[in-house]
């Protein structure tokens, strides 16, 4: 209960108080306590807790249940519903986001290195210039996602759905895109050196000026793909 509430409550029950530190006898204090409980003013510190520095909290209504999420490095957000959320520049290094719903989320410039986003829903999300180095995006849904300029070194995107995704100038060196769906994806000027594209679907993808030096493209489908200026590709 705030100091202002204490003074107001005392005055309302006939106990004169100039400040919350004014002296009260035991009987008066008990009257104040009982009245505060009746009015629901005896809130515990935990009920008023504020998130710590660097650990903002998100609250979402789910029926009558209020769900709170702590955002920060290593945060446990598995299965969390974060659709449409704004997490621009958020630090989520090593966070657990398996099966999380991040559809339409803004994660521009976010730090997601080593995060686990396996089977996450990122349809239409903005991950422009995001740091996803070493992250796990296996089987994630990345349809129409914005990943232009994103850092995806050694990232696992095996079996991920990247149809229509924008990966222009993305850095994918050493990434695993085995059996990934990249149809209609934009990979202009992307760095795909040492990438595993075995069995990947790149039908109608735009790979103009992309670097595929030492990339594994065994069984990959490049039908209708734009390959002008591509470096190192021997499909």
Q: Classify burial at 199, counting beta carbons within 10 Å of its beta carbon; exposed 0-12, middle 13-18, buried 19 or more.
A: middle
173 within domain boundaries? no
For the segment 113-149, what is each residue's pLDDT rounded down to a tens digit?
999 999 999 999 999 999 999 999 999 999 999 999 9
153 within domain boundaries? no
38 within domain boundaries? yes
Q: Of residues 4 and 168, which shows the higher confidence score?
A: 168
pLDDT band at 196 (very low <50, low <70, confident <90, very high): very high
11 within domain boundaries? yes
143 within domain boundaries? no
Contact 209, 226 (CB under 8 A): no
Domain that holds residue 27: 3-48
Is residue 68 classed as helix, strand or coil in its secondary structure?
A: strand
pLDDT for 32 beyond 80: no
Residue given tokens 């997490």 in the structure block: 87
Q: Over the chain, what is the mean pLDDT?
A: 84
For the segment 43-85, what is each residue's pLDDT rounded down to a tens digit?
544 444 343 334 445 544 443 333 567 889 999 999 999 999 9
8 within domain boundaries? yes
Per the structure, the count of domains in the chain is 1
Structure tokens at 118: 């396996």
pLDDT band at 187 (very low <50, low <70, confident <90, very high): very high
Q: What is the pLDDT at residue 47?
A: 41
26 within domain boundaries? yes
Q: What is the pLDDT at residue 12?
A: 62
172 within domain boundaries? no
């Amino acid at each position: 209960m705030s100091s202002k509430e204490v003074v107001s409550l005392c005055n309302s029950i006939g106990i004169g108080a100039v400040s919350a530190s004014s002296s009260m006898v035991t009987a008066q204090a008990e009257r104040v306590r009982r009245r505060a409980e009746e009015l629901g003013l005896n809130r515990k510190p935990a009920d008023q807790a504020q998130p710590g520095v660097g650990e903002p909290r998100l609250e979402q209504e789910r029926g009558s249940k209020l769900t709170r999420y702590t955002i920060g490095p290593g945060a446990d957000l598995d299965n969390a519903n974060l659709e449409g959320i704004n997490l621009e520049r958020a630090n989520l290094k090593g966070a657990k986001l398996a099966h999380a719903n991040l559809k339409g989320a803004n994660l521009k410039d976010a730090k997601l290195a080593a995060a686990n986003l396996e089977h996450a829903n990122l349809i239409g999300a903005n991950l422009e210039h995001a740091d996803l180095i070493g992250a796990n995006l296996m089987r994630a849904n990345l349809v129409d996602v914005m990943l232009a300029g994103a850092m995806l070194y050694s990232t696992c995107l095996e079996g991920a759905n990247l149809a229509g995704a924008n990966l222009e100038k993305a850095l994918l060196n050493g990434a695993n895109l085995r059996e990934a769906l990249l149809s209609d994806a934009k990979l202009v000027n992307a760095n795909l050196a040492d990438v595993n594209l075995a069995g990947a679907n790149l039908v109608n993808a735009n790979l103009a000026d992309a670097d595929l030096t030492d990339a594994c493209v065994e069984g990959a489908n490049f039908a209708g793909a734009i390959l002008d200026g591509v470096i190192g590709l021997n499909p």
